[in-house]
Amino acid sequence: MSQEQRLETLQASGLVHPRPEAVNAELFCSGNPFFFSMDKVQVKYEMLRRHFVDGVPVAGAAVSHGYSRGGFYVVAGSFAERGMAGLLDERRGRKGPVKLTEEVVAFVRGSPRSSSVPALVEAISEQFGISVHRRTVERLRQR
């Protein structure tokens, strides 16, 4: 696979290192095409290896791989928690509305457009036993 094909694959997957020009670790500057500074997952892995295996201080390992000290600890924590999958970026925070079950969504979408939002909030509370914010119902109606 050429570097161009590899870059296209990384771009399609959203795995391009945000600052490849900041990666100045020996492996990535050696001319070996296997080590590709645009490959965010490879750079993260090598940063961790450089610290935990080679014993390079955190700050040195982080900076030479284009990360801050704080970024190093985030990557290390994700790796410790999830292994190699922890090196992939994930959207932080909740993955969507917590209270909006399929039944609640169907209820809101099936209600007449003339129903007021406060009335829907009250009906959801009575029928499903949950409280939802009026903005949640407004956003659901906009979709």
d(CA 35, CA 46): 9
pTM reported for the whole predicted model: 0.64
Contact 124, 137 (CB under 8 A): yes
- Residue 131, sorted as left (phi over 0), alpha (psi -120 to 50) or beta, turns out to be beta
Residue 107, pLDDT score: 93
Structure tokens at 113: 């457009």
The stretches in the chain having pLDDT less than 70 are 91-93, 95-97
Residue 32, pLDDT score: 93
Most distant pair of Cα atoms in the chain: their distance: 67
